[in-house]
Structure 1
């Protein structure tokens, strides 16, 4: 086991200290300028589109496939999980308060990459029995003519999300319940595995229905409690901001090498949480039935802000206000529990345990779907999907009793490799998303509800789900 830990640790050091930090920041800035700051200038429009999608879902939209709101909820279900509660705490414990600043930065500039990957997923999606599916593997094959690249990505995302990330989620749930109720972690793992099996054997529509209920409810409740803590300590907020900024750029941190640690932890945990540029959310974006790919690209971009700027920040403020992050031996979910308990009382342990159960369980089912749609890219044999479901349940069970550090290190390694391949692909295909955005904005200026056609962009090939202009 020590050999495995050393290999994983060394690989992560190279990947995250040099390669990915440069590539993530470069691609985020490149797309932000190329798209003329789309993630900021169209922020209000994103909320409008999300509202329209939610209204469609509430009316029971009968169109084939899932609604844009349901697709947003599937991806948010995957995003909003242990990264928001345990991951933020881990980043602060290891990298200090300055890690929060770098988490914000990677979300703000990474939102540009998120728009591109989700728009591409919509353009190159394919039809299936449930409506549509797609993602990076599909645009790697159809737009880059590199099926081998798509297969490598599919294998990585299946291992990363379906197996390793789901072990992370169940690991955090079991630690949370052990800390709150002193319950045996294996027993928690068995319960989660049984509930997971019930949902994932029901297909994407069941996953979408569970996600659209769980995600908004759990996020709102958690944010309300966080808002109570922040309002209660409103006079401390300027000091918290000062602490974050000074820790991110301070002389003391520079001399001690703390800036590098904060930078790496903030970006790693930020990417784990919001997934911008990683290539995961596009798999959910592709399922939506919308009139124009840019609509879902904008909605998915909003998911990055919801995740990091709202929910991750809420956790960070609770931890920093409490001051317990300086306590030796506290990390991950148990740090978040201790921080909230110090502010609202002992019931916080139970509240965080319930929150993490809902957050992490919604992530498990969202993560599962990413693996399924990528297995379907590799092969149409249903036996492979069935075998995958069994492995997912096994990893949920194993993760509940695993050593915490190795699980997170494996998650970082697979996440980094996925992001590396996807970023290379979207940097090559970025102009397609830029042209799609221009087409969308042009139609809006003409007072139309934008509609996309196969020939809306010159030179598009291998397009399956968008008709030719009449």
Structure 2
């Protein structure tokens, strides 16, 4: 699975001539662009779609996932996480372009995602249905349990609140947003996601400023540890290069979701003039997720020495911030509890939305109320389950949804290349006409 995901990213990186480097200006320019042609008041703006995608991307993978990668694979795992993120930008670009190309307006509502480019692009009704069922279970049900489980652990670790109470509160807050439909979800993500990311990044920068003398040694551990894990940490973490690469790539892909088929749902409903524009926007999600948030988490864990404690998952990240803010009592524990709540809660909202689009694809609007009720139940139940069981179930269904999505991406790769060439040609002609 890792070879297939990373291989797809490498394929698009070369076929699109390293688009994540050559079009870096376009990535930031298109985020706030508005369509030139008038569109119906449906869907989301490019920024709202990006915020919804980032809401799904920035979650437990950025805190618990990064910590797990370091604990199991050593600091060098972060180097491979960066590599997977770089190539993942090519994959996520292709997903967004295809999602835009094959989106549909049904009953005045804009819909799209892998199910649509599988059915109408690849002409496979079976794979489209298989993908839809897999993502409903992977993100809507199991994914909600993963996120609420992490919220329950972190909040319970920092505050004396029973997990069942935490689960009920999270479910009630989610219901207030989900009942408002697409417009309320879009409004929530565009306001909360920038705030939560900025809050976490600021907290991380403060810790790094306190431990500034350890930043260069930490970076050295990351780069050196990618090829010689034992030497990088004095043999403290007995990882091999194979384990370091495996955990780095795995957690990187789980975090930024490149190739998983989740974020295309958000980018499919963006109001843009050309699919390639949203492709550029989609790559910014990986930059924020893996390039900034994951890196902040890793450097905090390494510069504070938390990685030597033997902890793992979100507890390791909490320990890093606890040590970083050691002069302020338990502030570090509480900070991560709050940050993880926002991260995981916004991911629940984003993943719910992706699942809902597939419920509509399979059953129409009539199935949404039953799906919503089951998701809310999963949120509560997730806080009570064993963490290993929850992650195992999520990983299994994630794998099932990845397979048909990668088949579509590779099968329709020529169409993505054609779309880029067409967009560049139009842009060049427009520029010549203006001059």
How big is the shift at 1:62?
A: 7.4
1:212 aligns with 190
How big is the shift at 1:448?
A: 5.5
How big is the shift at 1:130?
A: 5.7
1:109 is aligned to 2:97: no
TM alignment of 1:249-288, pairs within 5 A: 249-250=227-228, 252=230, 258-288=240-270
TM alignment of 1:418-457, pairs within 5 A: 418-447=401-430
User: Which structure 1 segments of 5+ residues have no match?
Assistant: 1-19, 450-470
Measure, in 2, the Cα distance between the counterparts of 1:152 and 1:326. 43
User: What is the aligned counterpart of 1:402 among 364, 385, 396?
Assistant: 385
**RMSD (Å), alpha carbons:** 1.9
Question: Greater shift after overlay, 310-319 or 410-419?
Answer: 410-419
2:331 aligns with 347
8 Å CA contact 1:268–1:412 kept in 2: the answer is no
8 Å CA contact 2:74–2:239 kept in 1: the answer is no
8 Å CA contact 1:186–1:397 kept in 2: the answer is yes
1:367 aligns with 351
TM alignment of 1:45-64, pairs within 5 A: 45-52=26-33, 63-64=41-42
TM alignment of 1:223-302, pairs within 5 A: 223-250=201-228, 252=230, 258-302=240-284
2:104 aligns with 126
Measure, in 2, the Cα distance between the counterparts of 1:252 and 1:342. 24
8 Å CA contact 1:253–1:259 kept in 2: the answer is no
Once the two structures are superposed, residues 204-230 of structure 1 have per-residue CA deviations (whole angstroms, 9 ceiling, x without a partner) of 111110000000011011111112222
How big is the shift at 1:251?
A: 6.8
8 Å CA contact 1:63–1:289 kept in 2: the answer is no
8 Å CA contact 1:118–1:300 kept in 2: the answer is yes
Measure, in 2, the Cα distance between the counterparts of 1:443 and 1:278. 31
Measure, in 2, the Cα distance between the counterparts of 1:48 and 1:403. 44
Measure, in 2, the Cα distance between the counterparts of 1:385 and 1:253. 53
Measure, in 2, the Cα distance between the counterparts of 1:230 and 1:311. 13
1:161 is aligned to 2:139: yes
Measure, in 2, the Cα distance between the counterparts of 1:366 and 1:313. 22
1:92 aligns with 70
What SS does structure 2 have at the residue aligned with 1:402?
Answer: coil
8 Å CA contact 1:43–1:302 kept in 2: the answer is no
**Distance change in 2, residues 1:231/1:122 (3 Å):** same
8 Å CA contact 1:116–1:430 kept in 2: the answer is yes
How big is the shift at 1:358?
A: 1.0
Measure, in 2, the Cα distance between the counterparts of 1:257 and 1:90. 13
Measure, in 1, the Cα distance between the counterparts of 2:53 and 2:365. 25
1:172 is aligned to 2:155: no
User: What is the aligned counterpart of 2:369 among 371, 383, 386?
Assistant: 386
Measure, in 2, the Cα distance between the counterparts of 1:253 and 1:443. 52
Measure, in 1, the Cα distance between the counterparts of 2:296 and 2:230. 26
1:312 is aligned to 2:314: no
1:453 aligns with none
**Distance change in 2, residues 1:129/1:88 (3 Å):** farther
Which structure 1 residue ranges, 4+ long, deviate > 4 Å from structure 2?
253-257
Measure, in 2, the Cα distance between the counterparts of 1:232 and 1:32. 38
1:77 aligns with 55
8 Å CA contact 1:170–1:396 kept in 2: the answer is yes
How big is the shift at 1:355?
A: 0.9
**Distance change in 2, residues 1:130/1:355 (3 Å):** farther
2:360 aligns with 376
Measure, in 2, the Cα distance between the counterparts of 1:193 and 1:221. 23
8 Å CA contact 2:63–2:294 kept in 1: the answer is yes
2:342 aligns with 358
1:415 aligns with 398
Once the two structures are superposed, residues 174-231 of structure 1 have per-residue CA deviations (whole angstroms, 9 ceiling, x without a partner) of 1111111121111100100111112112111111100000000110111111122223
Once the two structures are superposed, residues 44-99 of structure 1 have per-residue CA deviations (whole angstroms, 9 ceiling, x without a partner) of 1111111335xx9xxxx974321111111111100011111111112212222121
Measure, in 2, the Cα distance between the counterparts of 1:129 and 1:207. 19
Once the two structures are superposed, residues 293-345 of structure 1 have per-residue CA deviations (whole angstroms, 9 ceiling, x without a partner) of 111111011111110010011101101111112213x2211211111110123
How big is the shift at 1:432?
A: 0.7
8 Å CA contact 1:199–1:207 kept in 2: the answer is yes
